[in-house]
Amino acid sequence: MNALIERIYASVAPEISIDLGTANTPVHVRGHGVRFVEPTMVAIDTDTGEILTVGEGAKQMLGRTPRKIAVIRPMRNGVISNYRYTEALINQLLERAMRKRPLVPPRVIVGVPGSASDVEKKAVREAAMGAGAGRVYFVPQAMASAVGAGLPVLEPQASMIVDIGGGTTEIAVISIGGMVSAQSLKLGGDFLDEAIVSHLRSTRGFLIGERTAEALKIALGYYGRPAGRPPRKVVGQDVRHLRPGTLEVREEDVGAAMAEPLGQIVDVVRSVLEQTPPELVRDLAENGMVLAGGGAAITGLAETLQLVTGMPVRQADQPMLCVALGAAEILRDRKMFAALYPAPQSVIGRWWRSLRFGMRESSSFSSR
């Protein structure tokens, strides 16, 4: 009876998929696609603790606020750093996604890093339920990203995903709906931004902000060989002369700053491959791996990974939306949902299964 009720509920309830990322949070609504992508930021009044705005409005304030206003990232390195503000962010995102309270409470699925703890999941679940969700499910970002990239995760063959997000890098080899070998590395796009800021300060005596570092990463970042792009002028603070100034940043400056953290990601990819059974490695040698997340677009990264691993490497079609799209597909596809979230059987169901299959097993055994 419970299974029948769940099937009816699943067929009529709205479905919302959230990729709870460190830098950005895409939200997918069934029938509407990815409705919006909001920065994972919250602006607060430091005197009262009141939440002023979330998402893009908070990001526009970054680095420009008076002392009484602070812009906070409630997620850091894939970990909830502030539960209260994370709950507020999720609450507002769900209200925006639903626009008005539906007659049937929605099913909500949230992509979380592989290292997410039960306490963090509980905080997210309570926030979603408080915003009106009827059911809340969690899916590892690596699994959702693989589904969103179109990989055959239910097939008896190996699929490999490398999802480089804002706070974490999720690397996994998947087969028959399970992760054979996986690692969650607390290193992503935000760490690359910090590396660029630190490198320019130590080598050029020039201090820039987070948003400027992110722009440099996108415009001039690479791994391997430089692409020959022209320098870019940035505005910041001349640390040596203690005054505002401009600096011409070369492609080599950005590449040197990003080399070490990207090298760590490559090392973890090799480690995951070493932990993978030989039969699945043979599949990967033919099918290769897929890059997803914002870091997938880094110039030269796919080519370098292909050179190091000897495997084909390609970028997903919509790398930044893979987790949200994959989570939505998991909710939509009943076969996939049943494989990833097997329903617990009732006492009667377990008795009937043991009776039915026990008799079959005993009869087949006696016929040998």
Q: Give tens-digit pLDDT for 213-232.
A: 999 999 999 999 999 999 99
DSSP for 233-293, please give it.
Answer: EEEEEETTTTEEEEEEE-HHHHHHHHHHHHHHHHHHHHHHHHTS-HHHHHHHHHH-EEEES
189-258: CATH number: 3.90.640.10
Distance of alpha carbon 288 from the chain centroid: 21
- For residue 76, is it left (φ>0), alpha (ψ between -120 and 50) or beta? beta
Residues above pLDDT 90, as percent of the chain: 59
Q: Give the per-residue pLDDT at 237.
A: 94
What average pLDDT does the chain have?
A: 88
Q: Give the per-residue pLDDT at 301.
A: 96
Pairing of strands 42-45, 75-76: unpaired
> pLDDT of 299-333, one tens digit each?
999 999 999 999 999 999 999 999 999 999 999 99
Q: Is the per-residue pLDDT at 48 higher than 90?
A: no
Q: Is the per-residue pLDDT at 356 higher than 70?
A: no
Crossing angle (nearest 10°) for helices 301-309 and 251-274:
40
223 close to 298: Cβ distance less than 8 angstroms: yes
19 close to 89: Cβ distance less than 8 angstroms: no
Residues 6+ apart with CB under 8 A from 319: 149, 291, 292, 293, 294, 296, 297
Q: Give the per-residue pLDDT at 123.
A: 83
> pLDDT of 247-270, one tens digit each?
999 999 999 999 999 999 999 999
Q: Is the per-residue pLDDT at 350 higher than 60?
A: no
For residue 355, name the pLDDT band (cuts at 50, 70, 90). low
Q: Where are the domains of the chain?
A: 2-145+322-340, 189-258
Maximum Cα interatomic distance, the chain, rounded to a whole number of Å: 91
> pLDDT of 99-108, one tens digit each?
777 788 899 9
Pairing of strands 107-112, 15-19: parallel
Compute φ and ψ for 66, nearest 5 degrees: -70, 175
Q: Give the per-residue pLDDT at 101.
A: 72
Q: Is the per-residue pLDDT at 353 higher than 80?
A: no
Q: Is the per-residue pLDDT at 351 higher than 70?
A: no
More confident position, 27 or 12: 27
Q: Give the per-residue pLDDT at 177.
A: 92
> pLDDT of 59-114, one tens digit each?
888 878 888 899 888 887 777 878 888 888 888 888 888 877 778 889 999 998 88
Reported as half-sphere exposure (CB side, CA atoms, 13 A), residue 292 has a value of 32
Q: Is the per-residue pLDDT at 1 higher than 60?
A: no
Q: Give the per-residue pLDDT at 28.
A: 94
168 close to 185: Cβ distance less than 8 angstroms: yes
Q: Is the per-residue pLDDT at 151 higher than 90?
A: yes
Mean pLDDT along residues 104-126: 87
Partners of residue 233 on adjacent β-strands: 248
Q: Give the per-residue pLDDT at 363.
A: 35
Mean pLDDT along residues 22-51: 90
Query: Residue 143, Cβ neighbours under 10 Å: how many?
Result: 27
318 close to 334: Cβ distance less than 8 angstroms: no
The least confident of 24-28, 112-116, 235-239, 268-272 is 112-116
For residue 344, name the pLDDT band (cuts at 50, 70, 90). low
* Two tokens, residue 350: 């377990």
**CATH class of this structure's domain 2-145+322-340:** alpha beta
DSSP for 289-321, please give it.
Answer: EEEESGGGGSBTHHHHHHHHH-S-EEE-SSGGG
Q: Give the per-residue pLDDT at 75.
A: 83
Alpha-carbon distance of 10 to 13, in angstroms, equals 6
* Two tokens, residue 114: 């592989």
